[in-house]
Every structure is written in C-alpha cells, then in structure tokens.
C-alpha cells in the first residue's frame, strides 16, 4: 500500500475534479508485476493504468491488487474499475479508503459478488484519505480545499516590519514550495503581500510545466485591480486566470481579472463563501501563501484544511518581525488551536512540518 501511495502522489494537482489514486499489482509469488496512478481527469484510473503495465497477463492469476481508494463501481468518463477487475482471474483486492462519492462507491460489493476477496486495509487509511483530501473536501464541504503554506524563522516570523521577507528559508525549501504551488489549482495572497512583493505565484517546478495556475488576491476595496496591468502576475498567466476577491458592495469591472464578490462576516470577508465561489469557478484547491493577516483570517474562520510550515534555523525577533499569526489571539491556553499529527521532513538546514486538519476532522466524523 505504501508503494501504491507513492504512485498516487505522482498525480497530485493534476487529477481534479478526480482524486489522486495509486495502485500496485502483486503476483501470487509476491512480486510487483504492475503499478500505475490516475494522471488526469478523463484518463485511465489507477487500476487500469497499473493493469496496462503488466507484461504477462498469465501473471494476473492469483494476484493481489493494492489500491489507495475503493475501485469505482459506476461508469464515469471511463469504464468501472470494479467491473474490469471482476472479469480478471485476480484473487484479492485491497483498498486503503472508501470512495466518499455515493455515485462511485460500491466497488467492494461488485468484486465480492464476482468471487474476489475484497477488503479495506486500515493501517494506512489516513495516508490514503490524505492523498484524496482535495476531492473529499470538494465533495463533502462543497468548497475549495485550503492549504496554508508558511516560510518562517525558528521564532515564527515571516518578514521584517519593513516588509523585507526575501529570503528567510533555504533554496531547497523554496523548490518544495514550487511543487506545492503546482499541486494546487490556485495560489492566494492578501493585498499586503501583493503590494509589497509583486509576486508571480506560478509554479516553476518541471512537473507542472504544462499547468497554468490561477492567482487570487483578497482585497475588499479592490484597490489592487488598477495595479494589475503593471504586475508580474500577468507576465505568467492570462487575465482570466487572475481572480480578485472583493467586498460585495464593490462596483468596478476590469479586463485584467475576474472579480468575485463576497459578503462580510464579523467585519471581514466571509472566506467560506469565497472558497465556495472558487470551487464554482473550477478551483479545487488553494495554496494560501500569506501574509500574516490573511493566514490569521483563514484560521479565525476555521478554514485551514492543511498547514505546511517551512522553518529556517534563524531567529528574527518578534519586536522587529511580522508573525504569520499576527491577526490571531486566543483567550486561555485551553483554546489553543491543536493540530493533528505533523509530518516532518528535513530539507538541508530547514525543516518542513505538515499537518492535515481536514482528514482529521473527516475521520472523527467517520
């Protein structure tokens, strides 16, 4: 199942509106004879991609198929995987998590009815759900998935008060950010970051060379709209891929972007409504890059589905810095935001910490 997860991750950011899924086929002697992943919507599902890599079909007799998501039961753009597998001399299908889409679920029954042993395997269920977290969020919460990314010093600062922020983290951390950008449909920043940094917000990672992402700016008064024509956002994408989220009372129009109007909640733009509007525009996932005011707003409104912090071994000091939680305050430690298990990877001198809040909440309601 770990190998199936590795396969599935190759499709991250490329499969929307479908989930990323991976599959490995092992013959009766325990050798891997096929592997594959879902690479794009409308393309082969992971099981079919894996079957196509099996060179000797006689090897399928008595084999076991490991797939991160329950094989689909219904025909969509492609034939049902459960029915395809049911017609083969396979002995067993093991899946990591169930398909939350009721229209697609039921693959296990199809296989069992065909005399194939089919079961869910628990130990990597969480990882398998996380592989499909964008899809599950879109299906169940009916909004865009929110991934907050932070590049900070050891003491949690993302810039100086002067606005200087380039560069706190290392080159290898920044390369990894390029991958995260590619894995999301859109990258979002607040007005402050747009004005201070004039960022491009695209992915310069080779894996995503054919994907032009969407840039989103939150700017209630819409003042940034007149600055767009001079901005670097438009150097790397057409104007229909630049979205500005404004207050619902904003009256202007522009040829340089798509304007999304949003109501208020407690004096701030209602980000849940904004994330619903983004999904309606085909944005399945958003990487929120800052600054601290914007990130704090997403936390205040309970809308962070995944948090990834790149941490550099530097101390900047809170007195002269800007914290990524500068707009957050809790009264009483019992109200601290507690994150589920964080995965840590080392990138040279930097650390990357990531925590999937959406899957945690989903599992609690399971």
Query: Would you tell me which residues interact with ligand NAP (CB under 6 A)?
Result: 150-151, 158-159, 163, 165, 168, 189-193, 196-197, 218-221, 268-269, 271, 289-294, 297, 322
**Among 47, 70, 127, 133, which one carries the catalytic annotation?**
47
* C-alpha to C-alpha distance for 226 and 208, rounded to whole angstroms: 30
Pick 71 or 290: Cβ nearer ligand NAP: 290
Residues listed for the chain: 366
Least Å from the CB of residue 237 to Zn ion:
32
* The one among 5, 26, 72, 141 contacting Zn ion by CB under 5 A: 72
Q: In what order do the strands lie in the sheet with 186-190?
A: 258-262, 242-247, 214-218, 186-190, 285-290, 145-153, 306-312, 350-356, 342-347
Nearest Cα to Cα of residue 311 among 147, 182, 149: 149
Least Å from the CB of residue 47 to Zn ion:
6
Binding footprint of Zn ion, residue count (CB under 5 A)? 3
* C-alpha to C-alpha distance for 212 and 190, rounded to whole angstroms: 20
Pick 16 or 312: Cβ nearer ligand NAP: 312
* C-alpha to C-alpha distance for 57 and 34, rounded to whole angstroms: 10
Could you tell which of ligand NAP, Zn ion, none binds residue 271, using a CB distance below 5 to 8 A set by kind?
Answer: ligand NAP
Least Å from the CB of residue 361 to ligand NAP:
21
User: What tokens were used for 42?
Assistant: 């409308």
* The one among 81, 110, 132, 275 contacting Zn ion by CB under 5 A: 81
Could you tell which of ligand NAP, Zn ion, none binds residue 45, using a CB distance below 5 to 8 A set by kind?
Answer: Zn ion
* DSSP 8-state code for residue 338: P
Q: Is the four-CA dihedral 186, 187, 189, 191 of positive or negative sign?
A: negative
Pick 294 or 350: Cβ nearer ligand NAP: 294
Least Å from the CB of residue 151 to ligand NAP:
3
Count of CB atoms within 10 A of residue 142's CB?
11
Annotation says 47 is catalytic = yes
* DSSP 8-state code for residue 30: S
Could you tell which of Zn ion, ligand NAP, none binds residue 191, using a CB distance below 5 to 8 A set by kind?
Answer: ligand NAP
Asked if 137 and 358 count as a contact pair (C-beta separation under 8 A), the reply is yes
Query: What residues numbered 246-275 form the site for Zn ion, per CB under 5 A?
Result: none
* C-alpha to C-alpha distance for 151 and 352, rounded to whole angstroms: 9
Give the CB-nearest residue to ligand NAP.
Answer: 291
User: What tokens were used for 271?
Assistant: 């980000």
Pick 168 or 307: Cβ nearer ligand NAP: 168
Pick 68 or 144: Cβ nearer Zn ion: 68
* C-alpha to C-alpha distance for 349 and 326, rounded to whole angstroms: 26
Pick 4 or 72: Cβ nearer Zn ion: 72
Asked if 5 and 131 count as a contact pair (C-beta separation under 8 A), the reply is yes
Count of CB atoms within 10 A of residue 210's CB?
6
Least Å from the CB of residue 260 to ligand NAP:
13
Least Å from the CB of residue 16 to ligand NAP:
24
Determine if 357 is a binding residue for Zn ion (CB under 5 A): no
Determine if 45 is a binding residue for Zn ion (CB under 5 A): yes
Could you tell which of ligand NAP, Zn ion, none binds residue 312, using a CB distance below 5 to 8 A set by kind?
Answer: none
Note the Cα 23 to chain centre separation in Å: 20
Least Å from the CB of residue 280 to ligand NAP:
18
Residue with tokens 């929307």: 16
CA distances for 24 relative to 2, 3, 178, 294, angstroms: 9, 7, 28, 41
Could you tell which of Zn ion, ligand NAP, none binds residue 197, using a CB distance below 5 to 8 A set by kind?
Answer: ligand NAP
Could you tell which of Zn ion, ligand NAP, none binds residue 107, using a CB distance below 5 to 8 A set by kind?
Answer: none
CA distances for 108 relative to 72, 78, 90, 114, 129, angstroms: 9, 18, 14, 10, 17
Pick 133 or 289: Cβ nearer ligand NAP: 289
Residues near Zn ion (CB under 5 A) are: 45, 72, 81
Would you please indicate which residues are annotated as catalytic (active-site) residues? 47
């Amino acid at each position: 199942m770990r190998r199936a997860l590795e396969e599935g991750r190759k499709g991250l950011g490329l499969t929307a509106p479908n989930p990323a899924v991976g599959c490995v086929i092992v013959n009766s002697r325990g050798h891997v004879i096929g592997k594959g992943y879902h690479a794009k919507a409308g393309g082969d599902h992971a099981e079919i991609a894996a079957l196509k890599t099996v060179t000797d079909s006689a090897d399928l007799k008595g084999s076991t198929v490991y797939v991160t998501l329950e094989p689909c039961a219904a025909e969509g753009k492609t034939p049902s995987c459960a029915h395809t597998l049911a017609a083969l001399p396979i002995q067993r299908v093991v899946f990591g998590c169930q398909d939350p889409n009721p229209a697609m679920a039921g693959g296990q029954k199809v296989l069992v009815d065909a005399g194939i042993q089919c079961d869910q395997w628990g130990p990597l269920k969480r990882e398998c759900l996380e592989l499909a977290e964008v899809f599950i969020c879109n299906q169940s919460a009916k909004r865009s998935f929110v991934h907050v990314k932070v590049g900070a010093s050891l003491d949690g600062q993302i810039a100086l008060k002067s606005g200087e922020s380039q560069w706190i983290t290392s080159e290898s951390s920044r390369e990894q950010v390029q991958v995260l950008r590619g894995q999301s449909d859109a990258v979002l920043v607040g007005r402050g970051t747009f004005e201070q940094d004039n960022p491009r917000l695209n992915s310069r990672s080779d894996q995503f060379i054919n994907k032009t992402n969407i840039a989103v700016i939150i700017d209630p008064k819409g003042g940034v709209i007149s600055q767009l024509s001079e901005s670097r956002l438009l150097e790397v994408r057409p104007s229909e891929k630049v979205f500005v989220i404004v207050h619902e009372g904003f009256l202007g129009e522009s040829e340089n972007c798509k304007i999304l109007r949003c109501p208020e909640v407690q004096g701030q733009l209602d980000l849940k409504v904004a994330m619903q509007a983004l999904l309606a525009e085909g944005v399945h996932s958003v990487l929120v890059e800052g600054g601290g005011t914007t990130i704090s707003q997403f936390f205040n409104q309970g809308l962070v589905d995944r948090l990834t912090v790149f941490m550099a071994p530097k101390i900047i000091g809170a007195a002269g810095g800007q914290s990524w939680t500068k707009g957050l305050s809790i009264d009483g430690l019992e109200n601290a935001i507690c994150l589920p298990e964080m995965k840590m990877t080392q990138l040279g001198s930097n650390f990357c910490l990531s925590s999937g809040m959406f899957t945690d909440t989903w599992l609690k309601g399971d």
